[in-house]
Chain A
Amino acid sequence: MPVQAIRTTSTARNGVGAFILQCKRLDFHYCDHWGSSKGMNTFLRSPLIARFAAAHPQIQIHISPRPNTHPIIRGLYINGREKVICVRNLEKEQILQKAELLRDANGEKVRRMKGGRLVGSLNESVRGVWDPFHGGNKEIIGDRIVSS
């Protein structure tokens, strides 16, 4: 019986294929009475929220009242952290922007990358980020890179 190669079950896409959205839940809190919730209430009544929720099925959307307080959006992340943005007196478009900001965040504290690094890592490489133009002169022939 000839030896068969192991069949590939997934295609490597340089890490992109394994991407998991860090935001797992978004809480939308509003107040029925306070004027600062006007924009939030409009946003929740508008099709924007439905569109946003339909576009991100991996994010759980919680909508609940929080009486007599300003409206907020709270993002919960898979690292266990949460981020809260107060959206008082904002328009519905601005609220959508804030929701997108929370969606794109990874849940980590926002901190500056020191030393002009492009990639942050717990185990930093001494050699830096590899790229195909490392090590000697290269020639590009057609769609291939060939070392000369």
Chain B
Amino acid sequence: MAPASRIGAIASRTSLHTTSGSSYTCLQCRLLSYRAAQKSNSSTKHLPSRRHASGFINTEKWRKKIWGSENPPGQEDPYGAPGALDQRRREQGVEDPEQSAKEVETSVEDPDDVEEDVTPRGPHYKRATTWEGLERVGYRNWGKEQFDENYPFEGFMDPKLESREKIVTAVHRALVEVFALKQADFPLVMDYDAGDVFLDNVDDFLLRLAKEARFEIDATGEGHLVLEDQELQEIIVGSVTPREDADEEDEDSEDDIQYVEEREEDRNLKEGENSERLAQKEVGDASRLETSSPAIEPQVVEIESPAEFETSDQPVTDEIPNPSSIPDRLLPPVDNHWRNVSLRNPEIKFAVLKRVMQLTGIRIPDPDIANITNPKLLLAHLVKKPKPKKLAENLLANEVAELPNVQIWERRYTPIHKEKEIGRWKIIEQELEKRGLPATGDRIGSRSEALNV
């Protein structure tokens, strides 16, 4: 039975939507009849492709004509050959005609319905381990379901610093560190970011940098770091270079992991915001601290113990009796020459920029890096301009405000102000209240109350 006549027979059986007097059949009905034909005819084997399954096009005839020979090269039906999915199915040995018919049926169905069918069916189902050969990965809303609120996305950079003072201090610190490394003939760029792991008291450290680290600019424009004592340089260098203990250990990768872990612990302890997460990780962290603390402690004590601070720098400790009580106080660097230190040397520039990005969490776009030649220009990229003050604020701080015949208003001068100056406002207000009318626009509620009464 020819396919067309078969469809016609089924159409008559299933009462297809045909327009009266015409042979046109709508697509939906054709699809229905096609499925019915597939179900009714169990002898229908696996159909590789819908397009050529019916065999309407005799490709063999055209191939012979094109090639001009009875035995044209290539496949017999180049368009009707089984696709990758069919080949895969054959490899898996799907021979059951009903099974294959079901599969064909699902392939004909609306793709949305297929997507909703989340759980795979069939005895030959094998979970894919790679996406090779898969038509799609996951299903609708699969990506959202994978999202876990307990583990939000964390970028590769630290959270951005917001405070202007903190950013200025960070840039100064980066500059001092790089120049200290240069003086000590260490490599300027470290492979990892140690954070503040090696610093016992970061605030003390920053205060010392602000007070004791100065820059001198020579005639060529190059800057030179001048530290008041050698001990500060040791502390600075020690805070960014790998520990000696770590060198003795076997594998560098383990060290790096340890550094990252230590840093994470440090950050978590500082933030103290995500208390739930902290509580979850507490047990693990505690065990990690126990394991990592023997490696850290000797170094910290060696480099900068509180006793060293007291003995080496008495004035600073006098001024800051209890640094823990002033955690957010940041002293701007005393010396202002550091803003004009040349960053034209690419090595120094790269090291400073990398360190600044680590400390501030602010990424500087590549095109801007070329224009940065000193810390002043660097700060211009990092620090937002302060919000422009209102003109009234400026004027009130200006000499104009001191003149006796000048009045400056911060708000709009309204008719109410005018009436008040004349002394008429009280009377107006009384009369309005007497009539249950609002004196100003914000008393609409009271007016409605008055009207109700």
> Which residues of A are at the interface with B, using a C-beta cutoff of 8 A?
27, 29-30, 32, 41, 44-45, 47, 49-50, 53-54, 56-67
Contact = CB atoms under 8 A, between A and B. Distances in A.
B395 interface: yes
B413 A27 contact: yes
Interface stretch (B6-14, B251-259, B376-384, B401-409): B401-409
B413 to A, nearest CB: 4
Given A27-B413, A32-B390, A45-B391, A61 B405 contact: yes
Contacts of A27: 413
Contacts of A54: 403
Contacts of B408: 63-64
B391 A41 contact: yes
Contacts of B53: none
B390 A63 contact: no
B398 interface: yes
A59 B407 CA distance: 11
Given A32-B390, A32-B391, A57 B404 contact: yes
Given A30-B391, A44-B395, A49 B400 contact: yes
Contact of A63 (B395, B399, B404): B395
A66 B412 contact: yes
B405 A64 contact: no
B391 A53 contact: no
A63 B403 contact: no
B391 A64 contact: no
A109 B389 CA distance: 39
A114 B390 CA distance: 49
Contact of A61 (B391, B394, B407, B413): B407
Contacts of B301: none
Contacts of A30: 391
Contacts of A50: 398-400, 403
Interface of B: 390-392, 394-395, 398-400, 403-413
21 contacts: A32-B390, A44-B391, A44-B400, A50-B399, A53-B403, A54-B403, A57-B405, A60-B405, A61-B405, A62-B413, A63-B395, A63-B400, A63-B409, A64-B408, A64-B411, A64-B412, A65-B390, A65-B391, A65-B409, A65-B411, A67-B412
Contacts of A61: 403, 405-407
A93 to B, nearest CB: 18
Contacts of B412: 64-67
A49 B405 CA distance: 12
Given A50-B398, A50-B400, A62 B407 contact: yes
Contacts of B413: 27, 29, 62, 64, 66
Contacts of B403: 50, 53-54, 61
A103 to B, nearest CB: 13
Contacts of A63: 392, 395, 400, 406-409
Contacts of B400: 44, 49-50, 53, 63
A64 B392 CA distance: 8
A57 B399 CA distance: 15
A100 B278 CA distance: 69
A30 B410 CA distance: 11
A111 B392 CA distance: 37
A45 B394 CA distance: 8
Contacts of A64: 392, 408-409, 411-413
Contacts of B395: 44-45, 63
Nearest to B409: A64
Contacts of B392: 63-65
B394 A53 contact: no
Contacts of A60: 405, 407
Nearest to A41: B391
A95 to B, nearest CB: 14
Sorted nearest first, the 4 A-B pairs with minimum C-beta distance are A64-B409, A64-B413, A61-B406, A50-B400
B383 to A, nearest CB: 23
A27 B412 CA distance: 12
Contacts of B409: 62-65
A56 B390 CA distance: 26
Given A57-B405, A63-B392, 19 more contacts: A27-B413, A41-B391, A45-B391, A45-B398, A47-B399, A49-B400, A53-B406, A54-B403, A58-B405, A61-B403, A61-B405, A61-B406, A63-B407, A63-B408, A63-B409, A64-B408, A65-B391, A65-B409, A65-B411
Contacts of A65: 390-392, 409-412
B351 to A, nearest CB: 42
Contacts of A41: 391
A62 B412 CA distance: 11
A50 B409 CA distance: 16
**Counting chain B CB atoms within 10 Å of each CB, which of A27, A53, A56, A66 scores highest?**
A53
Nearest to A45: B394
A50 B406 CA distance: 9
A67 B391 CA distance: 12
Nearest to B402: A50
Contacts of B405: 53, 56-61
B393 to A, nearest CB: 10
A61 B405 CA distance: 6
**Counting chain B CB atoms within 10 Å of each CB, which of A44, A50, A63 scores highest?**
A63
Nearest to B410: A65
Contacts of A32: 390-391
A20 to B, nearest CB: 16
